[in-house]
Amino acid sequence: MRLEYFQMLDRIVDVNIDERVIRTACTIPKADESPVFEGHFPGYPLMPGVLLIECMAQTTGWLASALVDFNNMPILAGVKEAKIRTAVLPGDALEFDGKVIHEGSGFTVSEVKGLRDGKVVCNAQITYRLLPYPNPKFRQAIRDWAGRLQYPFKEPVK
């Protein structure tokens, strides 16, 4: 996880296209490893709740990408019922479980939750608008990123 580069997830643990579910994982950087914690907050580092929402958005964003075989790009369009249930601290290991509950008509909607030691720390319903990639190079860059997160492509990442 590199917060300041919005690289929120360390790996895609599992994807099941048929069941429309995904699991991802990440470890929050230690307090001295990210400047985010210099400001949030000085002397009391806390993972910003808005970045937990980003973690959730990226989790089912990858699933939304996978469901269209990386042919369209899911853009965050809505966040509903987002709850940050407890403080998340530097060094915490998190997993995110997501499920797509609607596809089609240009939108994908998911439900996703973050867990620490199996206990829910955050959850939300997230909507994405699916847009064409601006160019093939960018699409390939996203596929390469998925590959680095261990997304199980059936064929090698080109």
Partner 1 sequence: MSTTFDKVAEIIAETCDIPRENIKPESHAINDLEIDSLDFLDIAFAIDKAFGIKLPLEQWTQEVNDGKATTDQYFVLKNLSDRIDELIAAKGA
> Catalytic residue numbers?
40
Instruction: Tell me if 129 contacts partner 1 by CB under 8 A.
Output: yes
Contact stretch for partner 1 (CB under 8 A) within 65-73, 85-93, 106-114, 144-152? 106-114
Query: How many whole angstroms separate alpha carbon 107 and alpha carbon 76?
Result: 10
Query: How many whole angstroms separate alpha carbon 139 and alpha carbon 26?
Result: 24
Q: How far is the CB of 47 from partner 1 (least distance, A)?
A: 28
Nearer to partner 1, 43 or 132 (CB): 132
Query: How many whole angstroms separate alpha carbon 48 and alpha carbon 53?
Result: 9
Determine which residue in the list 10, 13, 103, 116 makes contact with partner 1, applying CB under 8 A: 103
From residue 34, give the alpha-carbon distance in Å to each of 45, 49, 66, 85, 116.
Answer: 10, 16, 30, 23, 20
In the block, residue with structure tokens 């964003």: 61
Nearer to partner 1, 35 or 106 (CB): 106
Q: How far is the CB of 105 from partner 1 (least distance, A)?
A: 4
Note if the bond before 96 is cis, omega within 30 degrees: no
Nearer to partner 1, 31 or 79 (CB): 79
Encoded one letter per residue, x for contact with partner 1 by CB under 8 A and - for no contact, window 55-84 reads ----------------------xx------
Query: How many whole angstroms separate alpha carbon 102 and alpha carbon 107?
Result: 8
Query: How many whole angstroms separate alpha carbon 124 and alpha carbon 47?
Result: 17
Contact stretch for partner 1 (CB under 8 A) within 8-16, 19-27, 64-72, 101-109? 101-109
Q: Which residues bind partner 1 (CB under 8 A)?
A: 77-78, 102-107, 109, 127, 129
